[in-house]
Amino acid sequence: MLEGKRILLIVSGGIAAYKCPDLVRRLRQRGAAVRCLLTAGGAEFVTALTLGALSEDKVYQDLFSLTDEDEMGHIRLSREADLVLVAPATANILAKMTAGIADDLATTALMATDRPILAAPAMNVRMWENPATRENLATLEKRGIGFIGPEEGDMACSEWGLGRMSEPDQIAAAVEDFFRQGLPLSGKRALVTSGPTHEAIDPVRYLANRSSGKQGHAIAGALARLGSQTTLVSGPSHQPDPPGVEMVKVLTARQMLEACEQALPVDVAVLAAAVSDWRAQTVAKGKIKKTGPKKAPELTLVENPDILATLSTKGNLRPRLMVGFAAETGDVIANATKKRAAKGCDWIVANDVSPETGAFAGDYNTVHLITEAGVEDWPALSKTAVAERLAQRVAGVLAAAS
Ligand code: CTP
C-alpha cells in the first residue's frame, strides 16, 4: 500500500529511537522507500549504520557537511519525499518545530519542507503533560501536522502513563491511513476470500481443487489500492501476499468461514475462493494404508458450510455489498443467475472454468457480471484488469450509498 511512496524519517533523540530500525523495516515491507535523517541526540540511541543498512540508503546527519550538502542539500532532502515522519518526536524537537528553530539538519529540513508532516511523540508523561508541550502540540496541530500516538504504558524511565511512542506497526499503519485519504474507498472495509480450501482425509491426503488464488489476490490488492482497509482470507495459494492487505491464511472451509466472520463488519465482501463443497466425515488419525483388505477405502463426505450464503444472510452484519463468484463448466449465465438468487448476494461474477478456457490457473479471465440490473459481458481481460474493473465498480456503489 506504500508502493512508490518516499518517506523521510527524522529520528530524534529519545530512547524510543531503538524502535526505528524496526519502523524502517515495516515501512519498507509495505513498499515505501525510506530515507533516514538522524539527529545528534538520535545517534546516541541508534546508529546510522543500522538505519542505513535497513533503509538501503545513505543516512543524513550533518547540516554542515560539505559532502552531504553537495550530494543532497537540505532543501532537496526535505522535498524529495512524499511525507516527512518524525519518530520519535521528542518534546525538544516539537518545541523547535513550534518556534521555527532551524539549528541542525533535522530542524532545517522540517522548516524547509513543503511536504506533509506526521510526528510520533515519545517522552516522559510529565513532559507530555507539561503546559509547554500541550501548547506546542495545539499550535502544530493547527498548522496541519498530524500526530500518531503517543500510547499509555510503562516507560523506559520506569514511570507509567501517556508518552510512550506507538509501536512501529501502528506507526506504519497510520502512515498507510494517511496515504489512503482522498482515495475512493478510503474509510471503507473490504473482505476478500481467495484460493482453494484443503479438506483432510488423513494426515497426508486432502480434497482440493485447481484454484490458484490469482483472481482473489488480485481483487484484494485492487481494493486496497483504492484505499479500503482490506482483509484477505486465503486458502493454500502460492500467490504473493498483496501489499497493504491484512492476510489471514486458512486451510479448510470451516476455518475460512470463521475467519470471515471475525473480519466483520465490512462494507463489501468479495468471495472469490473456490471453497471445497464437501469434507470427509471422519479424518483418519493415521495414514490410510493400502495393505490389509484388498478393497479401496470408501469416503463418506459431508457438506461444508456455504460462506457466501452465510454472510449474505447475516442480518445487521451483512456487508452492504456482497459479491460472489460462480465457477461453471456449462450454462454459465443461467447457473450463475440461479446462484445469485439462491445465495442471496448482490452480484455474481460468473466465469467458465472448463479446462479449455484455462481460467482456473491462468492469467486471463472472461467474466460476466450479474447484478440486479442484468448481465454484463466483460471482454477477455487479465485477472489484474478484472480485479481493477471490479474494484472501481465496488467504489462506485459504495460512494453512491454513503
Ligand atoms: N462458496 C462459499 N462457500 C462454499 C461454496 C462456495 O462461499 N462452501 C462461494 C464461492 O466463494 C463463490 C460462490 O459461493 O463465491 C459460488 O461458488 P461455486 O463453487 O461456483 O458454486 P457452489 O456453491 O459450490 O455450487 P456448485 O459447486 O454446485 O456449482
What are 324-350's pLDDT values in tens digits? 999 898 999 999 999 999 999 999 999
49: Cα within 13 Å, side-chain hemisphere: 1
* Sign of the alpha-carbon torsion through 157, 158, 163, 167: positive
Paired with 86 in beta bridges are: 10, 119
Query: Measured from the CB, is residue 277 less than 6 Å from ligand 1?
Result: yes
pLDDT of residue 72: 65
Q: Which CATH superfamily is domain 6-180 in?
A: Flavin prenyltransferase-like (3.40.50.1950)
The model's pLDDT over 141-173, given as tens digits with 9 standing for 90+, comes to 999 999 999 999 887 777 888 999 999 999 999
150: Cα within 13 Å, side-chain hemisphere: 28
Residue in the structure block whose three cell numbers are 525510506? 34
Residue ranges per structural domain of the chain: 6-180, 189-401
* Sign of the alpha-carbon torsion through 259, 265, 270, 276: positive
Is the Cβ–Cβ distance between 327 and 274 less than 8 Å?
yes
pLDDT at 67 over 70: no
pLDDT at 71 over 70: no
Q: CA 236 to CA 87: how far, in whole Å?
A: 37
* 335, three cell numbers: 447457473
Q: What is the DSSP string of 289-352?
A: PSSSSSSPPP--EEEPP-HHHHHHT-GGGS-SEEEEEEEESSSHHHHHHHHHHHHT-SEEEEEE
Residue in the structure block whose three cell numbers are 499550535? 139
Do 189-401 and 6-180 have the same topology in CATH? yes
The model's pLDDT over 97-114, given as tens digits with 9 standing for 90+, comes to 999 999 999 999 999 999
Q: Which of 47-56, 87-96, 357-366 has the lowest mean pLDDT?
A: 357-366
The model's pLDDT over 355-381, given as tens digits with 9 standing for 90+, comes to 888 777 788 889 999 999 999 999 999
Nearest CA to ligand 1 atom 21: 326
The model's pLDDT over 297-326, given as tens digits with 9 standing for 90+, comes to 889 999 999 999 999 999 999 999 999 999
Query: Measured from the CB, is residue 340 less than 6 Å from ligand 1?
Result: no
* Percent share of the chain, pLDDT over 70: 97
Query: Measured from the CB, is residue 275 less than 6 Å from ligand 1?
Result: yes
The rounded mean pLDDT for the chain is: 93
pLDDT of residue 154: 81
The 10 Å CB-count burial string (b at 16+, else e) for 57-75 is eebbbebeeeebbeeeebe
Query: What would be the CATH architecture of the domain defined by 189-401?
Result: 3-Layer(aba) Sandwich (3.40)
- Assess whether 157 carries a catalytic annotation: yes
Contacts of 369 (CB under 8 A, 6+ apart): 347, 348, 349, 350, 375, 376, 378, 390, 393
Closest CA to 397 of 295, 293, 322: 322
Query: Counting atoms of ligand 1 from 1, which one is nearest the CA of 277?
Result: 8
Q: CA 147 to CA 74: how far, in whole Å?
A: 23
Query: Counting atoms of ligand 1 from 1, which one is nearest the CA of 336?
Result: 20
Q: CA 313 to CA 357: how far, in whole Å?
A: 33
Query: Measured from the CB, is residue 349 less than 6 Å from ligand 1?
Result: no
> Which of 199, 335, 337, 339 maximizes ligand 1 atoms within 8 Å of its Cβ, making it the mutation to test the pocket?
339
pLDDT at 70 over 70: no
pLDDT of residue 289: 87
Mean pLDDT of the 176-197 span: 94
Q: Amino acid identity of 113?
A: T
pTM (two decimals):
0.79
